[in-house]
Structure 1
Amino acid sequence: MTRPIERIEQDLVGLQEAVRAIAQELKTAYTSYLKVLGKTMRQQLILATYYLCTQGYPEKFLNLSLNQRQLLQQAIRYLGTQTAQQLLNYEQADTELVTEEIETEDDLEDDLEMDEMEADFYLLPFPEESKEPREFVRWQQSLEIFIQNKLKEASQEANQILYKSRLLPQEIPKNILDIANTVSEATTEIIPTIPNVPNILNMVIGLEDEEDSEEANLTQVIAISLRLGEIEFTDANLTSERKQIRHIVNRLHKITVEHQKIQREKSIAEAEAAWRSSWYED
């Protein structure tokens, strides 16, 4: 038997209040997480650059003058600081495009069908006044994509700094490094990382021989690739922050499913009432 509409609406109001409380808790958790992530990311960027200069291309690094080495180090430090600030100040980046798709989370139940967002969309602002849990889910997903994109951008900029400093092989096309970072996000088999060295890519690229177009010269390239999972793994505090976020997101997903069920119950109750109000015997 369908419950009275007034009772259903009371349940909806209670759920909406709970949703907003969970959403605020999630926003606070992300602020704390991004602060730690920025600090750890900067450290890992410097460590990855150190490895590349001292283990990957030591001879080329030694060929640099003292001033060139200092300029390279300064550029990497600045890049790390700048990226950390951008992560923490994500709310100021509402007009920045995030070029990915948001898809339904695996742990959402089948009856919660999240709409896929367009391939090009803006980082969603926090829906402060919203009472719809789906909007907070979409905000959280867009923020995760924003974080991934910032790490990818930082990796690309770091590799360009190393390329311009003539540490990376000059015979490879510049866009190869960008492509490598994109591929590395999708698979660890095609472009493996170096064991026990986080955020480093070790790849072999085939370059065409100008004299013999049928043969390719294989060139090993070691480059920087900041990966969120590897950054989190290196810092216990960051791992703990991520665990807290997952816990809150799971609660948000559960209440989103419950909210949709009650919304449907309300629609059914209203439809039944509308049927009764318009029905009459011939």
Structure 2
Amino acid sequence: MARAIERIERDIIAMEEAIEAIASELSSAYTNYLTILGQAVQQQLIQASYHLCTQGHPDNFLKLSLNQRQQLQQAIRKLGQQAAQQLLSYMESDEEDEADEDEVDEVDEVDEVDEEDEADEADEADEGVSSLSPTPSTFPTPSTFPTSPTPVQTFGPNVSTPTSPTPVQTFGPNVSTPIPPIPLQTLRRNVSIPTPPAFPEDPCNPVEVAKWQQQLEGVTQETLKKLSRDANLLLQKARILPNKLPEPILEAAAAVSEASADVIPAPPNLLNLVIEIENEQKPEESSLTQIMALNLRLAEIEFADLTLSSARKQIRSILVQLNKLGREYQKKHRELSVAEAEAAWRASWFED
């Protein structure tokens, strides 16, 4: 029985080494995928914005001056660049944390040496001369990104971002006013940046690797949702979209489009809405207005980019290996528990 337990333990060690290699391969695959996704997001955000301004709301776009159009286009490009950098930072965060920790250690060592030298100089100073004792600097200690625990039922991607539908409201007429400059700083204050998950401390554990992968998919989806919200807010400030169109309406419509096919057809990464606009002078008179808004969707972005689609297939292939090995790993742990329990039973059993 002891030999059987040793054999099972050796099998588990071999599986853990294989799982760690798969985790490393999965991390490299996601670095490649998120790099390509960032480039695709920038391109398709511009394409969707072009279609929205020229096909969805051409009259509103034509009201802008040349300078206002250039401001809007530049701000849209900037949003896409920021989103691309944010996506790639999810895989660089762990390396940056380690580098920051090394830098803090080096700075602390330099401070200690400086303090000793200054103390020696103060002792050797002439009488009547006062010396100022240096105040040690305080450096922040970097910490890993917090992650919210996510229950893992199965291995592989399991990302869901449900949004409860919001009742449709009525809105007043949109008043045409001069358009002020569009500062991006106002957009950054509205929606928080998704927090990336830290790479598992135990990459030999398939459950931890699967949890990290699911959380990474979740923050990727949240990044696209944030980019859509920021871009729509930008279009509202430019008077392309109605200024009184609340964000909950867009979120509810986006959630419905994700869950159902019974929506108005729209080009990729765009959302078609039909809302009722109330006449403030004559409340009894209202009109239905069709509005197009940005709604970046990961599936549509991947479908339109062959390189990105290929990178996604590579991730799926690695996840298949992780799923298979994860099931075998759990089965082997179960086998070890049974063998150890049988050995413990025999060790404690004695005849009357």
- Give me the TM-score of the superposition, normalised by structure 2: 0.69
Q: Among 330, 336, 340, which residue is 1:266 paired with?
A: 336
Counterpart in the other structure of 1:117: none
How far the C-alpha of 1:279 sits from its partner, in A, is 1.0
Q: Among 130, 153, 163, which residue is 1:104 paired with?
A: 153
Question: Distance between the aligned counterparts of 1:126 and 1:47, measured in 2?
Answer: 34
Counterpart in the other structure of 1:226: 296
How far the C-alpha of 1:101 sits from its partner, in A, is 6.0
Q: Percent identity?
A: 51
Question: Distance between the aligned counterparts of 2:232 and 2:252, measured in 1?
Answer: 12
- Give me the TM-score of the superposition, normalised by structure 1: 0.85
Counterpart in the other structure of 2:208: 135
Q: Is the 8 A contact 2:156 2:213 kept in 1?
A: no
- Determine whether 1:185 maps to 2:258: yes
Q: Measured at CA, do residues 281 and 136 of structure 1 come closer, stay the same or move farther in structure 2, by a change above 3 Å?
A: same
Task: Give secondary structure in 1 for the equivalent of 2:241.
Answer: coil
How far the C-alpha of 1:205 sits from its partner, in A, is 1.9
Question: Distance between the aligned counterparts of 1:25 and 1:202, measured in 2?
Answer: 40
How far the C-alpha of 1:242 sits from its partner, in A, is 0.5
Counterpart in the other structure of 1:111: none
- Determine whether 1:81 maps to 2:154: no
Counterpart in the other structure of 1:38: 38
Q: Is the 8 A contact 2:156 2:319 kept in 1?
A: no
Question: Which amino acid in 1 is paired with 2:325?
Answer: I
- Determine whether 1:7 maps to 2:7: yes
Q: Is the 8 A contact 1:54 1:61 kept in 2?
A: yes
Task: Give secondary structure in 1 for the equivalent of 2:239.
Answer: coil
User: Which entry has the higher C-alpha Rg, 1 or 2?
Assistant: 2
Counterpart in the other structure of 2:270: 200
Counterpart in the other structure of 2:162: none
Greater Cα shift, 83-92 or 204-213: 204-213
Counterpart in the other structure of 2:197: 124
Q: Measured at CA, do residues 193 and 88 of structure 1 come closer, stay the same or move farther in structure 2, by a change above 3 Å?
A: farther
Q: Is the 8 A contact 1:208 1:217 kept in 2?
A: yes
Counterpart in the other structure of 1:20: 20
Q: Measured at CA, do residues 251 and 192 of structure 1 come closer, stay the same or move farther in structure 2, by a change above 3 Å?
A: farther
How far the C-alpha of 1:67 sits from its partner, in A, is 1.4
Counterpart in the other structure of 1:146: 219
Q: Is the 8 A contact 2:155 2:323 kept in 1?
A: no
Question: Distance between the aligned counterparts of 1:199 and 1:184, measured in 2?
Answer: 11
Q: Among 74, 91, 95, which residue is 2:145 paired with?
A: 95
Question: Distance between the aligned counterparts of 2:249 and 2:147, measured in 1?
Answer: 23
Task: Give secondary structure in 1 for the equivalent of 2:287.
Answer: strand
Please list every run of 5 or more consecutive structure 2 residues that lacks an aligned counterpart in the other structure.
95-143, 159-193
Q: Is the 8 A contact 1:205 1:218 kept in 2?
A: yes
